Amino acid sequence: MAFAVDRGRASAQASPTTISQGPLVTSGQRTISVAGTGSVTAIPDRLTLAFGVATNSPRVSEALKANNTSAQALIASLKANGLEEKDIKTSELSINPQFDAAGREVKSYNVSNTVTVTVRKIDATGELIDAVAKVSGNAIRISGLSFAVSDPAPLLATARDLAVKDATKQAEQLAKSAGVKLGKVRYIRSGANVGPTPVYGSSADVATAKATPISEGTQEIIASVELVFDVSD
């Protein structure tokens, strides 16, 4: 997995971790408090998206039957194009009446079946979408596409290291400017942002598309820390 390292980005916090030694600050104690950030830019290697099929008929049994046929064809196409059973999950099944303009009489029934899939070969996603669209026709719906890094832990560790170095450098500069000596770290609080990168868009009919380009771009993994140092003359 390729990644590049940079520093000084805006921080984002999630699931903060706090480490402290003894009381944080006692009366008359002098400290320096700083906040640092570090980030790692990685290329996502996993993609999730939702494939759905929607059918409509005056009779609910007919709408459901047509939807079952389309959904089975969709899942079969996913498997035929390399997806494993563990990476295909039904995420929604709905049956909704469609009323007339006055909102009184049911004119038809709409059935929707959606499966959320995990694609581990991003460069094959375009072909997968085209194959599914071919078997599903105008019933196909695609939504909820997002990219992620499968194992962000080592990248997050690097980002934390950078965040601590950033905060320490600031503390050293402040201590020097103030004419004091920097002591031990008394308090550490950390946070991180390692969520997937969403690609926003509405459901789309792609049955007639000749090609479906997919670009994963990059994902930034950000760590932030707050450090409190003792100071002395």
**pLDDT score of 130:** 92
Tens of pLDDT, residues 181-199? 999 999 999 988 876 665 5
Structure tokens at 194: 């390692």
pLDDT value for 195: 64
pLDDT along the chain (233 residues), means of 10: 37 38 53 95 93 95 95 95 94 94 93 96 91 90 91 94 96 94 94 66 41 82 95 89
Do residues 196 and 148 lie in contact, with contact meaning Cβ atoms separated by under 8 Å? yes
- Any idea which residue has 């990059």 for tokens? 218
Alpha-carbon gap, residue 170 to 3, rounded angstroms: 26
3-state secondary structure of 162: helix
What secondary structure does DSSP assign to 6-51, as a single string?
Answer: EE-PPP---S-EEEE-S-S--TT--EEEEEEEEEEEE---EEEEEE
pLDDT in tens, 97-129: 999 998 899 999 999 999 999 999 998 899 999
Among the listed residues 57, 45, 76, 21, the one whose alpha carbon sits nearest the alpha carbon of residue 196: 45
In order of 57, 108, 130, 158, the CA distances from 54 in angstroms are 11, 13, 17, 45
Strand partners, 5: 40
